[in-house]
Structure 1
Amino acid sequence: MKSSNRGRWLALLCLLPFALFFIAFQIAPLAWVALNSLNSPEGWGLANYSKVFGSRFYLQAIKHSLQIAFWSSLIGIVVAVIGSYSLHRVDSKLRDFVMAFSNMTSNFAGVPLAFAFIILLGFNGALTILLKQAGVIEDFNLYSKTGLIVLYTYFQIPLGVLLLYPAFDALREDWRESAALLGASPWQFWRHIGLPVLTPALLGTFVILLANALGAYATVYALTTGNFNVMTIRIAAMVAGDIALNPNLASALAMVLVGLMALITVVHQWLLKRSYHVAR
């Protein structure tokens, strides 16, 4: 009994540095931002939030951020699912190479990625000119919302592959063989066995991809020099004072971003509970 209590206290003692680090670098900054979002020239209250939700400009930033995050995450997870499943069916050497490449490209973001896409898909990019000459496209604007979705999808796919690949280990080959022996078609196997098993991993990966896209800043700033209206650009502009210095309004917009992520997380947990009930 004493050794058990001693082990519990030792575990809590080992957890203390992490708890202090988490409070200092996660909870305290978030509390500071939340507190400052309530401070405005009019006094303490929700005036900053009224400005955010009463302005078509800031609502457009929220809309653009959600659209880019959703479509890049959706396309990224679809490609990642196909890629992760395919990796389980190929030679181990090719699998190791693709996983190493995915690990590298998932960290290839920010300014280098923006410049690489400008060289490839800019107005006079090498790939853009080739596609125009081949008659595949008539025009492509990398600096538009569609271009940003393409850019974001690039770093969403390898991250999705890294997150989803281990989930396919849960699908045992003998399950497929047993289902086939019982007369189940491939579609029935995936509908009743494969997808229910993979649903938690799919939902969790989709949420991580959404968070990854919503919080991206360096890539979109380097590509558009801060001229495209998304939430991270607006927050940084108000903190840096490029147009007007207003850190309290930036804090309110940051809390809206936190609220969106909290809502997505709540929906994710709800969908997970539903998937567990359906699986049972």
Structure 2
Amino acid sequence: MHDITFPLRWRIALIAPALAVFIAFWLLPMVALVQVSADHHFFATYAALLTNARYMKSLAATIMLSAAVTATTLVLSVIAGLLLARREFAGKRTLVALLTFPLAFPGVVVGFMVIMLAGRQGLIGALALKLTGERWVFAYSMAGLFIGYLYFSIPRVIVTVMASATKLDASLEEAARSLGASPWQIMRDVVLPALSPGLIAAGAVCFATAMGAFGTAFTLATDIDVLPMTIYTEFTLNANMVTAAGLSIVLGLVTWAVLACARSATGSAVAATA
């Protein structure tokens, strides 16, 4: 094979479009956000944000909701993804298409679907009214937002699990089975470690998506206090640009920290399984 090297001017020409996009759509907006949030009093502004009980409660609720969605999504997606990757049955392609169909829906549509399911006139409420005499309505709470986030998170992770499952070395499972390992031991000691790099990466993306998701929360925002809604309220209703920008930076830093940890853990997992 021939080693193809590009002259310096060609390297610059090839990287220039990506660099331009990075500067225009990430670097400049972030610099603008930091400038607005600082308001000539950088430390005082962020100290006020981080000591505000309402803002920190909103941040904590957002992190806990995102973590719960991520954990539940990973469990359900591993079960469904392994089944779909390893079993052939009638209607499998149709089922996979239906499971991944929510990828095409924006957050607002997902929110309306949750309302149709668990809203005041929703299906769950109607069934509960017939069975118990009481209408169950939880679409406009954290439970409804959890269902909405779960709905658009599962398809993303299932696709990752299915792709990773097709690359597993079946001989390792056969060897473990021949040594008397139970199905649970094979799953714990062979399958999950092999899937771990993909699961960590998919889980990080799932967490980041849930942290910043706005459309679904906006549609269901009757009794919901998550950070994207807090930022929206400060920006639109209170016209508080400084606080909105500062909270945006805080949200971005938390999400970036999780993604950075995932990249580090993924690298370690890859090294361990090599």
- Normalised by the length of structure 2, the TM-score is 0.89
Alignment pair present for 1:168 and 2:165: yes
1:113 maps to which residue? 110
Asked whether the 8 Å contact 2:128–2:136 carries over to 1, the reply is no
Distance in 2 between the 1:195 and 1:278 partners? 13
Q: Secondary structure at the match of 2:91?
A: helix
Q: Which one-letter code corresponds to 1:34 in the other structure?
A: V
Q: Does 1:63 align with 2:57?
A: no
After superposition, what is the alpha-carbon deviation per residue over 1:187-233, rounded to whole angstroms, capped at 9, x for unaligned? Answer: 332233212111111111110000110111111111226x6221111
Q: Which deviates further from its counterpart, 28-37 or 43-52?
A: 43-52
Report if the CA contact (8 A) 1:170-1:197 is conserved. Answer: no
Aligned twin of 1:232? 228
TM-superposed CA distance for 1:14, in Å, is 2.4
**One-letter amino acid matched to 2:141:** S
Write the distance in 2 (CA, Å) between the matches of 1:89 and 1:136: 44
For residue 278 of structure 1, report the CA deviation from its aligned partner: 4.8
Kept in 2, the 8 Å contact 1:64–1:145? The answer is no
SS at 2:219 equivalent: helix
Of stretches 131-140 and 166-175 in structure 1, the one that deviates more from structure 2 is: 131-140
Q: In structure 2, do the counterparts of structure 1 residues 174 and 52 end up closer, same or farther at CA, with 3 Å as the change threshold?
A: same
The equivalent of 1:30 in structure 2 is: 30
SS at match of 2:120: coil
- 2:97 aligns to what? 100
CA displacement at 1:138 relative to structure 2: 6.8
Partner Cα distance (1:129, 1:87) in 2: 33
Per-residue CA shift, 1:56-88, capped at 9, x if unaligned? Answer: 111121012112111111111211111100101
**1:224-274: per-residue Cα shift (whole Å, max 9, x none)?**
26x62211112122222x1x2111211110111111012212332343355
TM-score by length of 1: 0.87
| Match of residue 198 from structure 1 | 195
TM-fit CA distance, 1:145: 1.4
Instruction: State the match for 2:142 in structure 1.
Output: 145
Q: Secondary structure at the match of 1:6?
A: coil
More off after superposition, 251-260 vs 90-99: 90-99
CA distance in 1, matches of 2:64, 2:134: 23
The aligned counterpart of 2:256 is 262
Task: Name the residue aligned to 1:253.
Answer: 247
Aligned twin of 1:16: 16
210-219 or 140-149, larger mean C-alpha shift: 140-149
Once the two structures are TM-superposed, the CA of residue 174 in structure 1 deviates from its matched residue by 2.8
**Structure 2 unaligned blocks of 5 or more:** none
The verdict on how the C-alpha distance between 1:55 and 1:178 changes in structure 2, with shifts beyond 3 A counting, is same
Q: Aligned letter for 2:224?
A: F
Cα displacement (A) at 1:34: 1.8
The letter for the 2-side match of 1:256 is V
Given that 2:160 and 2:199 are in contact with CA atoms closer than 8 Å, whether structure 1 keeps it comes out as no
For residue 120 of structure 1, report the CA deviation from its aligned partner.
Answer: 1.9
- Number of the residue aligned with 2:88: 91
The share of aligned pairs that are identical, in percent, is 24
Given candidates 47, 52, 62, the residue that maps to 1:50 is: 47
Distance 1:120 1:4, change over 3 A: closer
Aligned partners of 1:117 and 1:269: how far apart in 2? 33
User: Matches of 2:165 and 2:113 in 1, distance apart?
Assistant: 32
- The answer to whether the Cα contact below 8 Å between 1:102 and 1:162 also exists between their aligned partners in 2 is no
In structure 2, C-alpha distance between the alignment counterparts of 1:273 and 1:111, rounded to whole Å: 35
- Residues 118-127 or 89-98, more deviating: 89-98
CA distance in 2, matches of 1:250, 1:45: 14
